[in-house]
Structure 1
Amino acid sequence: MAIHNLGSINIDHFYSVPHLPAPGETLAATAYGIGLGGKGANQSTAAAKAGARTVHIGAVGPEGAWTVERLNGAGVDTTHVSVLETPTGHAIINVDATGENAIVLFPGANLALPFPKVVSALSEAAPGDTLLLQNETAHQEKAARHGRDLGLRVVYSAAPFDPTAVRAVLPFTTLLILNAVEAEQLCAALDTTIEALDVPEILITRGAQGAEWRHRDGNRAFAPALSVKAQDTTGAGDTFAGYFCAGLDLGQKPQAALAWAAKAAALKVTRRGTADAIPSAAEVAAFGT
């Protein structure tokens, strides 16, 4: 089994600020850092650190070679990461004293990967493998359709939320991952309820209220959130998604995968950074013991 992730790769620029800037406000940062990020890279890192065989499909610019090395270092197969002339995607991340964040994103090379590269990468996938998608790359709909036709489990982490993108990808999705706000936005955009969505499985993360998994056959699973002192919430949802997908890929039942993912996300928020701060399976196992 394996997880094939058509995902973004970003260079994250972190600014520690006393509070998130208000409109028109100029604010002096108290610290600065740089690291690997992007929802795709975060989720690939989490899945690989959890122990799942993880293949990343994506693109960077000429200055992004070190990001690919970081992914390799986390155990991610980067054979299908292309180097393009378009600059690597990057994010400007403001983090306040409570760990809350505000992010400005430049997509860059993430939107420039030719679709034939995706098809070539997925030629190595086997039925029953997972295709993981987010909304920070091009070709989600075509990739989801192609993945379904190959017999893959298509997992769609529908963030950053875009109702048009969700409408297009949903018919080919096996598992839809949303946070609570995105779930409300989707229901409003489609004029429906979560229960009425035509998708086999849904995972909704609710922050401090935990996370729930639903199957349209009526099965349910729930995991409470762990109480921790947050240092940086950036990448917590990606850590959860990556660990949950890894759990399913490794044969865990949804309830066990939920609890494992919740523990991994809780440990992540106690650390500053994004992909570089995602814990390993051994660290998650030792956390809270």
Structure 2
Amino acid sequence: MAIYNLGSVNIDHFYTLPHFPKPGETLHATDHSIGLGGKGTNQSVAAAKAGAKVYHIGAIGGRDQWVRERMESFGVDTTYVRDVKHDTGHAIINVDAAGENTIVLQEGANIRQDADAVLDAIDNASQGDTLLLQNETNLQDHAAKFAVVKKMRVIYSAAPFDVEAVSRVLSEVTILVMNTVEAAQLTSALGSTLDKLPVPQLIVTLGAKGAMWRSNETGEVFEVPAPKVTPVDTTAAGDTFIGYVAAGLDNGMSIREAMEWATRAAALKVTRKGTADAIPTAEDVVGF
């Protein structure tokens, strides 16, 4: 089994602040660092660190080969990461004293995915493999339609939220993943409720409270609580959770088992500063 992830690749710039700046306010950052990130990359790294075989499908600027090397050092296969003439995507991440964050994205190479290259990558997948998708690239619906033909599981993160992007891909999704804000945005935009959304399963992450799973086929619902921790940096916590859920399912876990494992991984992640570099390994999670 394997996980294929059509996902963003970003170079992250982290700024630690005493508080988020108000309009017109200038603040001195107390720390700055550069790391590997992007929702797609974070999910690929999380799944790989959890022990899954992961193929990342994406694009980076040709001069940023350190990005490819870093992904590979975490166990991610970058065969399907293309070098393009555009800059690698990047993010400016401000983290306040409470560990909360605000993020500004520059899409760069992430929205220069090539349709033929995406299909060629997914064509190597087998029935039962997983396709991960998020909203930081183009061609999500293109990839999802082909994944359904290949009889793959499709896990889609509706983030950053875009109702048009969600609507284009929803009919192909196996598991729809949102946080509470995104769930409220989607149900409001579609004039629907969670139980009426046309997806077999959905997961709503609840922050420090854990996560909720719902089957829209059977009506079954359950919640998985999260361990209590003191957060240092919440960036990539949701991506860590999704990567671990995907890896758990790929490894044959039940959805409840995968989510319980993933909530522990996400809780451990928020005690660490950073994004992909700070995502815990499966061994870390066992120790935690």
Q: Which residue of 2 aligns with 1:247?
A: 248
| Displacement of 1:113 | 1.7
Q: Which residue of 1 aligns with 2:48?
A: 48
Aligned to 2:63, what secondary structure does the other structure show? helix
| Displacement of 1:149 | 1.3
- Cα distance in 1 for partners of 2:220, 2:251 equals 20
Is 1:60–1:88's contact at 8 Å kept on the other side of the alignment? yes
Q: Which residue of 2 aligns with 1:75?
A: 75
Where do residues 46-195 of structure 1 align in structure 2 (5 Å cutoff)?
A: 46-195=46-195
Identity %: 57
| Displacement of 1:259 | 0.7
Where do residues 223-262 of structure 1 align in structure 2 (5 Å cutoff)?
A: 223-262=224-263
Aligned to 2:260, what secondary structure does the other structure show? helix
- Cα distance in 1 for partners of 2:285, 2:73 equals 18
Is 2:210 aligned against 1:215?
A: no
| Displacement of 1:21 | 1.3
Aligned to 1:261, what secondary structure does the other structure show? helix
| Displacement of 1:11 | 0.1
1:60-102 Cα shifts (integer Å, max 9, x gaps):
0023211111110111111000010000000001001110111
Aligned to 1:218, what secondary structure does the other structure show? coil
Amino acid at match of 1:128: G
Amino acid at match of 1:137: T
1:185-237 Cα shifts (integer Å, max 9, x gaps):
00000000001101001011011221011112123332101110111000000
- Cα distance in 1 for partners of 2:185, 2:138 equals 22
1:96-129 Cα shifts (integer Å, max 9, x gaps):
1110111100000000121111011111100110
- Cα distance in 2 for partners of 1:21, 1:242 equals 32
CA RMSD of aligned residues (A): 0.8
Q: Which residue of 1 aligns with 2:282?
A: 281
Amino acid at match of 2:12: D
- Cα distance in 2 for partners of 1:109, 1:121 equals 18
Aligned to 1:46, what secondary structure does the other structure show? helix
- Structure 1 residue runs of 4+, over 3 Å off? none
1:226-281 Cα shifts (integer Å, max 9, x gaps):
11011100000000000011111100011111110000000000000000000000
Q: Which residue of 1 aligns with 2:270?
A: 269
Is 1:222–1:258's contact at 8 Å kept on the other side of the alignment? no
- Cα distance in 1 for partners of 2:28, 2:214 equals 44
- Cα distance in 1 for partners of 2:185, 2:122 equals 31
| Displacement of 1:24 | 1.8
Aligned to 2:195, what secondary structure does the other structure show? helix
Aligned to 1:104, what secondary structure does the other structure show? strand
- Cα distance in 2 for partners of 1:68, 1:233 equals 24
Amino acid at match of 1:220: V
Is 1:221–1:254's contact at 8 Å kept on the other side of the alignment? no
- Cα distance in 1 for partners of 2:3, 2:215 equals 21
Amino acid at match of 1:86: H
Amino acid at match of 2:286: A
Amino acid at match of 1:116: D
